[in-house]
């Protein structure tokens, strides 16, 4: 499979190249040159496959010649063998229409594990082959950081520098990153928001000084391999609910648009998806973009769903590129406008293309708390604040009663015990597998939100690569 950049001016790469590149040299994001298709019969034949086998089946066309079928199968077995639930991403039922897809059974209790456990193994395989060393520079609003660190800690050919916005992640999220002791792990708390951290990361990829000596890599969802692995659980859930005979809707708590874009990819591959509901908190740039065509970044407001406190949503570019006719030059110009003005309008083609599959909804603190209470009181389920935003949108969607609506449960409630307790009166407890998180010592460096300070810190500590 060939991978092309959304901005049209970077070299075409194969899967291995795109995985190791992260962001494209022209500032764009890599996407497959075409969407692989599965027929209804092929999808029907996937029913009942164990998760790791399903994953290998769905990802093989994206991986192409970069791995043999056996190699990919072995990596999937290894990655998904670390999950605490045999189904990997089990589905539970709320009522006749509403379902919950539990994506938090991985080592760090968030959906990021589904892709990052695999990505860590892919990096190791490709870097060993090429005798290279990767310097990962990432940004997190809480969950990507811990999942990425867990996936690469102690790996010889990788250093990881993870930026989080100081004071804006939950205590559990921070500790899951900062208590990991491995010589290749570097946590940095920066002044500012997640958007500031993410902007720095993207700048690093385009900085000749950083790239002349280091091979910079990405664990954020700018890396295509992240999204590819997330496509699988849309198939897994839909197959259990009767696909391909029956259409399914998904409600996705959204920040960087990675998770819900994976749903779009599943639909492009042939999975019958009735609707993808983009659920945001009050940081609602995506809701405004999809409902009014207005993609303008306001200031980020801290909420009880901190992982979605995002106003510049990286993967939206992938959707706009695909819906807008895959015109790299036009996309580069449009994103140039956004980067200069922090605002842009969607074109009619982009709006119409998105409207075919997506709707959006915004939840405030009350909506979120109400959804947590409903799940607890009516269904006996404790859900986290991010999932609650998705559930609020799912219950409010107005979809006809014969369409099952699956809310993606993106994090374990114990990652956000205070918000859950405030809403439901119940304090969720951390599963035993995260161990003595609050007894361990933390280590991180605080830096100002200053690009030069951050890159100097990285350059001093990173191992050169090619």
Ligand X SMILES: Cc1ncc(COP(=O)(O)O)c(C=O)c1O
Binding mask 297-316 for ligand LJ64HWYM (x = CB under 6 A): ----------x------x--
> Residues near 292 by Cβ (< 8 Å), separated by ≥ 6?
none
Strands (E) in 82-129, as ranges, are 91-93, 98-102
Nearer of residues 166 and 386 to ligand X, judged by Cβ: 386
Which of 66, 97, 108, 140 binds ligand LJ64HWYM (CB under 6 A)? It is 140
Minimum gap (Å) between residue 411 Cβ and ligand LJ64HWYM: 9
Q: Is residue 415 annotated as part of the catalytic site, yes or no?
A: no
Element (H, E) at 389: helix 385-395
Binding residues for ligand LJ64HWYM, rule CB under 6 A, total 14
> In this chain, which stretch among 27-35, 39-47, 93-101, 143-151 interacts with ligand LJ64HWYM, using CB under 6 A?
143-151
| Angle made by CA atoms 326, 330, 334, in degrees to the nearest 5 | 115
Between the alpha carbon of residue 414 and those of residues 23, 172, 195, 385, 418, the distances in Å are 33, 8, 25, 10, 9
> Residues near 68 by Cβ (< 8 Å), separated by ≥ 6?
none
Binding mask 149-188 for ligand LJ64HWYM (x = CB under 6 A): ----------------------------------------
Between the alpha carbon of residue 344 and those of residues 102, 321, 327, the distances in Å are 35, 14, 17
Minimum gap (Å) between residue 93 Cβ and ligand LJ64HWYM: 27
Q: Answer whether 309's CB lies under 8 Å from 300's CB.
A: yes
What DSSP state is assigned to residue 328? Answer: H
Minimum gap (Å) between residue 308 Cβ and ligand X: 5
> Residues near 132 by Cβ (< 8 Å), separated by ≥ 6?
20, 126, 157, 215, 465, 466
Q: Which one of ligand X, ligand LJ64HWYM, none interacts with residue 140, CB within 5 to 8 A by kind? A: ligand LJ64HWYM
Nearer of residues 254 and 311 to ligand X, judged by Cβ: 254
Strands 3-5 and 30-32: antiparallel
> Residues near 414 by Cβ (< 8 Å), separated by ≥ 6?
109, 172, 420, 428, 429, 430, 431
> In this chain, which stretch among 30-38, 139-147, 176-184, 362-370 interacts with ligand LJ64HWYM, using CB under 6 A?
139-147
Which of 184, 240, 256, 359 binds ligand LJ64HWYM (CB under 6 A)? It is 256
Q: Which of 411, 407, 385, 380 is nearest to 99 (CA)?
A: 407
Which of 98, 176, 220, 376 binds ligand LJ64HWYM (CB under 6 A)? It is 220
List of residues contacting ligand X (CB under 6 A):
110, 142-143, 221, 253-260, 307-308, 386, 410-411
Q: Which one of ligand LJ64HWYM, ligand X, none interacts with residue 185, CB within 5 to 8 A by kind? A: none
> In this chain, which stretch among 16-24, 38-46, 250-258, 400-408 interacts with ligand LJ64HWYM, using CB under 6 A?
250-258
DSSP per-residue string spanning 244-285: TTS-EEEEEE-SSSHHHHHHHHHHHTT--EEEEEEEE-S--H
Minimum gap (Å) between residue 241 Cβ and ligand LJ64HWYM: 25
What DSSP state is assigned to residue 374? Answer: H
Nearer of residues 164 and 215 to ligand X, judged by Cβ: 164
Which of 5, 66, 117, 144 binds ligand LJ64HWYM (CB under 6 A)? It is 144
What DSSP state is assigned to residue 142? Answer: S
For residues 17 and 217, give the distance between their C-alpha atoms in angstroms, rounded to a whole number. Answer: 11
| Angle made by CA atoms 160, 164, 166, in degrees to the nearest 5 | 140
> In this chain, which stretch among 135-143, 242-250, 368-376, 451-459 interacts with ligand LJ64HWYM, using CB under 6 A?
135-143
For residues 3 and 19, give the distance between their C-alpha atoms in angstroms, rounded to a whole number. Answer: 10
Binding mask 266-285 for ligand LJ64HWYM (x = CB under 6 A): --------------------
Q: Which one of ligand LJ64HWYM, ligand X, none interacts with residue 220, CB within 5 to 8 A by kind? A: ligand LJ64HWYM
CA-derived radius of gyration, the chain: 20
Nearer of residues 83 and 194 to ligand LJ64HWYM, judged by Cβ: 194
Q: State the burial class of residue 48 (Cβ atoms within 10 Å of its Cβ: 0-12, 13-18, 19+).
A: exposed
Identify the three-state secondary structure at position 340: helix
Nearer of residues 162 and 406 to ligand LJ64HWYM, judged by Cβ: 162
Nearer of residues 196 and 274 to ligand LJ64HWYM, judged by Cβ: 196
**Which residue out of 112, 166, 247, 415 is catalytically annotated?**
112
Q: Which one of ligand LJ64HWYM, ligand X, none interacts with residue 179, CB within 5 to 8 A by kind? A: none
Nearer of residues 304 and 458 to ligand X, judged by Cβ: 304
End-to-end CA distance of the chain: 23
Question: Would you tell me which residues interact with ligand LJ64HWYM (CB under 6 A)?
Answer: 140-145, 194, 220-221, 255-256, 258, 307, 314
Q: List residues with catalytic annotation.
A: 112
């Amino acid at each position: 499979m060939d991978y092309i950049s959304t901005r049209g001016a970077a070299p075409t790469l194969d899967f291995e190249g795109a995985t190791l590149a992260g962001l494209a040299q022209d500032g764009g994001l890599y996407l497959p040159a075409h969407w692989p298709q599965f027929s209804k019969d092929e999808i029907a034949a996937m029913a009942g496959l164990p998760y790791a086998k399903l994953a290998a089946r769905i990802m093989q066309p994206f991986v192409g010649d970069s791995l043999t079928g056996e190699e990919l199968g072995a990596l999937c077995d290894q990655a998904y063998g670390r999950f605490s639930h045999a189904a990997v991403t089990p589905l539970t039922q709320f009522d006749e229409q509403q379902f919950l897809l539990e994506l938090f059974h991985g080592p760090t209790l968030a959906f990021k594990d589904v892709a990052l456990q695999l990505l860590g193994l892919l990096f190791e395989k490709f870097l060993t082959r090429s005798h290279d060393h990767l310097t990962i520079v990432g940004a997190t609003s809480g969950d990507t950081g811990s999942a990425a660190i867990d996936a690469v800690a102690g790996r010889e050919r990788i250093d990881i520098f993870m930026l989080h916005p100081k004071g804006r992640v939950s205590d559990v999220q921070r500790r899951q990153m900062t208590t990991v002791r491995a010589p290749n792990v570097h946590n940095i708390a920066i002044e500012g928001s997640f958007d500031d951290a993410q902007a720095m990361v993207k700048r690093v990829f385009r900085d000749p000084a950083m790239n002349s000596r280091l091979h910079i890599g990405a664990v954020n969802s700018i890396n295509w391999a992240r999204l590819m692995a997330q496509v699988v659980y849309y198939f897994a859930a839909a197959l259990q609910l009767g696909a391909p005979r029956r259409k399914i809707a998904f409600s996705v708590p959204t920040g960087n648009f990675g998770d819900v874009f994976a749903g779009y990819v599943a639909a492009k591959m042939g999975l019958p998806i009735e609707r993808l509901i983009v659920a945001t908190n009050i940081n609602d740039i995506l809701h405004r973009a999809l409902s009014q065509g207005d993609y303008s970044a306001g200031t980020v407001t801290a909420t009880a769903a901190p992982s979605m406190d995002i106003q510049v949503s990286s993967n939206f570019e992938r959707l706009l590129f695909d819906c807008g006719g895959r015109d790299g030059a036009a996309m580069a110009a449009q994103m140039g406008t956004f980067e200069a003005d922090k605002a842009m309008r969607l074109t009619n083609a982009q709006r119409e293309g998105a409207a075919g599959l997506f709707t959006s909804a915004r939840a405030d603190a009350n909506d979120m708390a109400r959804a947590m209470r409903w799940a607890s009181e009516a269904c006996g389920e404790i859900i986290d604040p991010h999932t609650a935003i998705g559930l609020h949108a799912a219950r409010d969607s107005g979809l006809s009663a014969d369409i099952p609506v699956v809310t993606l449960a993106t994090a374990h409630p114990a990652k956000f015990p205070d918000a859950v307790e405030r809403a439901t009166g119940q304090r969720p407890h951390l599963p035993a597998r995260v161990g003595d998180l609050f007894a361990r010592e933390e280590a991180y460096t605080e830096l100002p939100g200053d690009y030069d300070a951050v890159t100097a810190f990285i350059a001093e500590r990173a191992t050169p690569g090619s």
